[in-house]
Amino acid sequence: PEDFSNYEAVAMPGGLDRVVVTRRNFNTTTCTEMVLVSPMMFDDFDVTLPATWQVELVRQWNGTTTCPADKGSPDHIAGGGTGSIQFQGYDAFNLYP
């Protein structure tokens, strides 16, 4: 079947810099968030990312395509994963993808 998902990425600067990637899957009515963080030394994910970036967490809510604002009570939290993520470019300060 055709995938009717849409994706959004939001940069969140702070003591630890984060990028939250959200997938709204209209085929399965789920909302999934993957949080990337920098700097981070270790994680539970075997995902190749640019230097200093790691996957902090992945969580999913079923029965909705809108992730809750309070981020509470996800239906699933990933304990690991594999793959690779490449950034296509960075902001003017070379900090965020």
pLDDT score, position 14: 87
3-state DSSP assignment of residue 17:
strand
pLDDT score, position 89: 83
Alpha carbons within 13 A on the beta-carbon side of 55: 22
Q: Is the pLDDT of residue 96 over 80?
A: no
Mean pLDDT of all residues in the chain? 92
What is the mean predicted confidence (pLDDT) over 9-28?
93
Q: Is the pLDDT of residue 41 over 90?
A: no
- Per-residue pLDDT band for 87 (boundaries 50, 70, 90) equals confident
Give the integer Cα–Cα distance in Å for 84 and 97. 15
Q: How many CB atoms lie within 10 A of CB 59?
A: 17
